Amino acid sequence: MPGEVTPLESASRRARRLAREEVIGAIVEAGRRQLATEGAAALSLRAVARELGMVSSAVYRYVASRDELLTLLIVRAYDSLGEAAEKAEARVARDDLSGRFATIAHAVRRWALRNPHEYALIFGSPVPGYAAPTTTIGPAARVPVLLVAVLTELTADRVSQGQARRVVPDEAVDLAVRRALAPVRAAVPEHVPDELFLRGLMAWTYLLGAISAELFGHRHNVIAESPGARDAFHTAEMARIAAFVGIR
């Protein structure tokens, strides 16, 4: 009846709910493992069911469709990446802004190298016919939020020392470009100059470009294959990007 108080959950209902959540967790885990070995295109509910020893139709008790499983996996991937970056960044001294930036970049790359198919799922070519629901927006923003924090503090820092004009790039940003950035500008403190924000966004673009190039094979025959060489190159490229943004 409308207006009625929802009754307290009984102990057994609660137990059922917990069991249910556990099974959903197992399904997502199985999907993740499938992703890791076969890639997103090969992901199938039937294979997930097989891995869990269920009959394929049983999975539908927990997940409405293949697309819904895909969404769960995407959210999980963003969260896993976000957590990795946040944890790494939290260990750096707060006033070491360039250390924080380098650590975020490094953590993102390390996560990508360890979870290449999950990386491809969220940053590779879109899965045809799949449209991400809004549920993914929050988790997707976790790393960008860390970067914006660095930019914000970078500016606060410089401003308080009265040297903003010299250290932070401060070219004029076209009106057209300022308009292009309008959607996201609201999420960034006003005292961060347009040019700095633009460059921060470019740094994020660069980081994903570099990782994609490495992971998707576009650095074959270009950069030596040994992990040492790749690490060295990554450190060098990100150092230059940090300087480009004005993070010191």
Q: Give ∠ CA 229-118-32 in degrees, rounded to 5.
A: 130
Shortest approach of DNA to residue 17 CB, angstroms? Answer: 8
**Per CB under 8 A, 12 contacts its own copies:** no
How far apart CA 86 and CA 146 sit, in angstroms, is: 7
Taking alpha carbons only, the member of 78, 93, 185, 77 closest to residue 142 is: 78
How far apart CA 155 and CA 100 sit, in angstroms, is: 15
How far apart CA 150 and CA 164 sit, in angstroms, is: 15
Among 21-29, 71-79, 106-114, 218-226, which window interacts with its own copies (CB under 8 A)?
A: 218-226
Taking alpha carbons only, the member of 122, 128, 150 closest to residue 208 is: 122
How far apart CA 133 and CA 128 sit, in angstroms, is: 14
**Per CB under 7 A, 12 contacts DNA:** yes
Q: Judged by CB, which is closer to DNA: 7, or 183?
A: 7
**Per CB under 7 A, 67 contacts DNA:** yes
Shortest approach of DNA to residue 3 CB, angstroms? Answer: 19
Using CB under 8 A, which of 138, 180, 191, 248 touches its own copies?
180
Q: Judged by CB, which is closer to its own copies: 159, or 213?
A: 213
**Per CB under 8 A, 150 contacts its own copies:** no
Taking alpha carbons only, the member of 105, 146, 109 closest to residue 239 is: 105
How far apart CA 179 and CA 242 sit, in angstroms, is: 25
Residues in the chain: 248
**Per CB under 8 A, 221 contacts its own copies:** yes
**Per CB under 7 A, 18 contacts DNA:** no
Q: Judged by CB, which is closer to DNA: 56, or 163?
A: 56
Answer with the entry of its own copies, DNA, none that 237 interacts with (C-beta below 5 to 8 A by kind): its own copies
Q: Give the residues lining the site for DNA (CB under 7 A).
A: 10-13, 15-16, 19-20, 23, 43-47, 50, 54-58, 60-62, 65-67
